[in-house]
Amino acid sequence: MRILARPSCIALLALLAASPGHALSFTVSGGWSLTVGTSDLAGPAGSGLEPQYQSAANAVLVDISGALLDTEPWTVTIHRVDVSWDGSLSLSMARTSEGLGAGSISGGLTLQPLTLTAQTLFQGTGNRSSIQLQLELDGVSVSIGSRILAAQVVFTLLDT
């Protein structure tokens, strides 16, 4: 049995109340591809699959730049876009590092289920680079069957 969950990252930018001639920007890189097979059985042949899988702690990297001041605030929101998805699966994301930079960062340190509605993952100020994110897939079962599943994670940067 094979299940492939392939979240990919799409970066969107929303500028709210940005100063003329100046705008925050960000890049999102990385992703996670997972193949689940017989080696993932919870026990001997005939047993179920392990229900939960985690990516590397740095599967996705986010860089935020263009802030003129270390106190310039921003917020990163996320939501899921189903490409070929099974509703019994849950995809979650968490921030695993503070990244680098003179600004600040907070929130997002606990796994947050990705829904079809945008929600805040973390917020901060100033320029930050190499912010690491981890994904978790839960609910894997032999009842899902052998097929390829895919979802996109959409990131939006709000200049707040």
The helix/strand/coil state of 60 is: strand
pLDDT of residue 149: 84
Output the pLDDT for position 48: 67
CA pair distance 31, 57, nearest whole angstrom: 11
Closest listed residue to residue 69, CA positions, set 12, 124, 129:
124
Assign 148 a pLDDT band (cuts: 50, 70, 90): confident
Q: How confident is the prediction for the chain on average, in pLDDT?
A: 82
* Residue from 125, 124, 96, 99 nearest 112 by CA: 96
Q: What is the band of 13 on the pLDDT scale with cuts at 50, 70, 90?
A: very low
Q: How far apart (Å, rounded) are the C-alpha atoms in residues 78 and 20? A: 26
As a whole number, mean pLDDT of residues 55-64 equals 95
pLDDT at 1 over 60: no
Q: In the structure, what pLDDT confidence band is assigned to residue 51 with cuts at 50, 70 and 90? A: confident
